[in-house]
Amino acid sequence: MLTVQELKALPKVELHCHLDGSLSLKAIRKLAQMAAVELPASDQALRELVSVPDDIEDLLDYLKRFDVILPLLQTAEALELAAYDVIEQCAAENVRYIEVRFAPDFSTEKGLSVSEAIAAVIKGLHQAQADFGVESGLLVCAMRQYSNQRSQMMFKAAQPFLGQGLVGGDFAGDEADFPTEVIEPAIKTAQQLGIPMTLHAGESHCAHNVMAALALGIRRFGHGVALGGHVDFQKQVSEADGVLEMCLTSNLQTKAVKNLASYPVAELLANQVKITINTDNRTVSNTNLTKEYDLWQRHFGITKSQFLEVNLNAINAAFCSATIRQQVIQDLQKGYAEN
């Protein structure tokens, strides 16, 4: 088994990380100061406020934790600082490429436009790239519970940022009540605009949402853990070269799976489904990529060469340029040979 230090040092690629769920306590305090919001004085109390306990009920319960952070992300300055902070954390665990996602529609409460929100996050990502050398791309999340019209407007406003830091789109939010069919018009709009799409799908016991996304030409799925037990679906995903953005800690917390023993790693690997390892939300889930890797090696026996494969799956499915892909693949090959 690799030590935590060795896991930390391995070069990594992450495809599924929410900006608003991944801020350091230091950044949250700074943002609260900027927004004149009072926070608990002790870090322990603050962590309790912004992270989920183990006994939450489901995804909707999990999503309530974002209510504390979102009021702090309502200015360009705040979004820029937040993006910078997430990349700083990534640099500390040798993430070489990350796709960071956020919902611009959640940052318009104080008059910021969707375009201004996106521009601010990109600015923070670029500044952090210059300072820490971590390559990144932005994904914009539409929210399943919003109207198609609202999501379509968001994607239209986002589209001009493609090639400027924006690399793709997503749908997050309440999957159980708003299945893929309901959001199909907005997905199609995003695709017509040329926005590469990933989708939260198969997180809330709805394997059929993955299949509906696959039928729409989508090949990346946030979580996809509901595919467990559906061998036919797994084979279809594998044949279509689909990739799962798996987030173990988050899935345990939201009760997407009952327990570790029912996490479908063995069957997904047996059916050649490509998997990737991600945090989902570093702060809300109280995790980081190193902790996730440690869980995967401890509970599923994942080895160093399998970690390399998982990272190659991630960079090959990433919405990055060919130049970045080549560079990161080189970094991965070198890093896994050395460490």
Ligand X SMILES: O=c1[nH]cnc2c1ncn2[C@H]1C[C@H](O)[C@@H](CO)O1
To ligand X, the closest distance from the beta carbon of 333 in angstroms equals 31
CA distance 310 to 28: 31
Nearer to ligand X, 101 or 230 (CB): 101
* Among ligand X, Zn ion, none, partner that 103 touches (CB below 5 to 8 angstroms by kind): ligand X
Size of the site for ligand X (CB under 6 A): 18
Instruction: Find the radius of gyration of the CA atoms of the chain.
Output: 18
* Among ligand X, Zn ion, none, partner that 106 touches (CB below 5 to 8 angstroms by kind): ligand X
To ligand X, the closest distance from the beta carbon of 151 in angstroms equals 13
Instruction: Please identify which residue in 66, 132, 178, 300 interacts with ligand X, judged by CB under 6 A.
Output: 66
Annotated binding-site positions for substrate? 18, 20, 173
CB 309 within 8 A of CB 12: no
Kindly write out the interface string for residues 196-225 of this chain, putting x where it contacts ligand X by CB under 6 A and - elsewhere: ----x--x----------------------
Token couple for 225: 């853990």
To ligand X, the closest distance from the beta carbon of 18 in angstroms equals 4
- The one catalytic residue in 14, 80, 93, 203 is 203
Instruction: Please identify which residue in 10, 86, 141, 157 interacts with ligand X, judged by CB under 6 A.
Output: 141
Pick left, alpha or beta for residue 75 (phi over 0 → left; psi -120 to 50 → alpha; otherwise beta): beta
To ligand X, the closest distance from the beta carbon of 326 in angstroms equals 29
Query: Kind of pairing, strands 243-246 and 274-277?
Result: parallel
CA distances from 178 to 82, 84, 112, 143 (A): 29, 32, 27, 10
Our answer to whether residue 57 is catalytic in this structure is: no
Instruction: Please identify which residue in 14, 20, 85, 99 interacts with ligand X, judged by CB under 6 A.
Output: 20
Instruction: Examine residue 99 and tell whether it contacts Zn ion (CB under 5 A).
Output: no
What residues does 201 pair with on adjacent strands? 223
Q: Which residues ranging from 273 to 302 are in contact with Zn ion (CB under 5 A)?
A: 280
Token couple for 54: 């183990």
First to last CA, the chain: 13
Token couple for 269: 């690997």
To ligand X, the closest distance from the beta carbon of 149 in angstroms equals 19
CA distances from 226 to 18, 42, 83, 133, 150 (A): 20, 38, 30, 36, 28
* Among ligand X, Zn ion, none, partner that 228 touches (CB below 5 to 8 angstroms by kind): none
To Zn ion, the closest distance from the beta carbon of 1 in angstroms equals 28
Q: Which residues ranging from 244 to 263 are in contact with ligand X (CB under 6 A)?
A: 250
Cβ-proximal residues to 117 (8 Å cutoff; 6+ apart), any chain: 76, 79, 102, 104, 107, 108
Instruction: Examine residue 278 and tell whether it contacts ligand X (CB under 6 A).
Output: no
CA distances from 133 to 31, 129, 164, 335 (A): 24, 5, 17, 16
> Stretches 46-54, 58-66, 126-134, 159-167: which one binds ligand X (CB under 6 A)?
58-66
* Among Zn ion, ligand X, none, partner that 8 touches (CB below 5 to 8 angstroms by kind): none
* Among Zn ion, ligand X, none, partner that 63 touches (CB below 5 to 8 angstroms by kind): ligand X
DSSP conformational letter for 204: S
Nearer to ligand X, 62 or 312 (CB): 62
Instruction: Examine residue 20 and tell whether it contacts Zn ion (CB under 5 A).
Output: no
CA distance 153 to 93: 36
CA distance 330 to 62: 37
**Amino acid, single-letter form, for residue 11:** P
Give the residue nearest to Zn ion (CB): 280
CA distance 247 to 119: 27
Residues with catalytic annotation? 203
Point out which residues bind Zn ion (CB under 5 A).
280
Residues that bind ligand X (CB under 6 A): 18, 20-21, 59, 63, 66, 101-103, 106, 141, 172-173, 200, 203, 250, 280-281
